[in-house]
Amino acid sequence: MPTPIPFDKIQGWFFDLDGTLMDTDDQTVERLAQRLRFLGDARARRLARRMVMAGETPMNYAITAVDMVGLDAVLFGVRRMMHAHTHPTFRLIEGVKPLLAHLAERATLAVVSTRSAEDAAEFLRQHDLTDFFKLTVTNATTKRLKPHPEPVLYAAKQLGLSPEVCVMVGDTTMDILSGRRAGAWAIGVLCGFGEEAELWRAGAHLVLPSTADLLGLVE
């Protein structure tokens, strides 16, 4: 049995974006599934999800490698240039805003994501969430990305907190592994990519249907 999280002692809440606060992971899967629909709807979606999940960790490691040889500024500059004329609209997962408002009055909140700083800032701005977060950790903040513990350790250090009093909340095994390896608590949510069994296997202390379900546990 997982160790119960001592919610009354938690001082830092770290949230992933995609599939945790932002309803975007399923959009990616659905777009790919449409291209694979010749396999049948159910099989196409299962395969699309696996393909997207399989690409997440290698992509994180690839970005890390680029960063370590000093080419990260070039990579992110190209990405910004490619999307310079786009204005993305990000969807907020239902029920998340009341949770964040509640937690922000009692603890310190941070975004810990592999999204760009621009995307993170735009998402928070669009949904009037900026004031809830004291720190945003993105794909250019640390040399290592999730599932490495560095992003979670960085967030804790910047906020003057011990990892042991922080929780990493995310929808993928990468979020859970990053939190656990940093010595933080880890909560998996099923409103994004992750499936319950794999989140438990990765070491989640708790798995919930949605991020919004946290509110009933911390009130």
Top-level CATH class of 7-24+91-218? alpha beta
Q: Break the chain into its structural domains and give their ranges.
A: 7-24+91-218, 27-82
Read off the pLDDT of residues 112-135 as tens digits, 9 standing for 90 and up: 999 889 999 999 999 999 999 999
Strand order in 206-208's β-sheet? 135-137, 108-112, 12-15, 166-170, 185-189, 206-208
Read off the pLDDT of residues 177-205 as tens digits, 9 standing for 90 and up: 999 999 999 999 998 878 899 999 999 99
Q: Helix (H, G, I), strand (E, B), or coil: what is residue 16? A: coil
Q: Helix (H, G, I), strand (E, B), or coil: what is residue 183? A: coil
Compute the chain's Rg from CA coordinates: 17
Read off the pLDDT of residues 69-86 as tens digits, 9 standing for 90 and up: 444 444 444 445 544 444
Tell how strand 12-15 and strand 166-170 pair up.
parallel
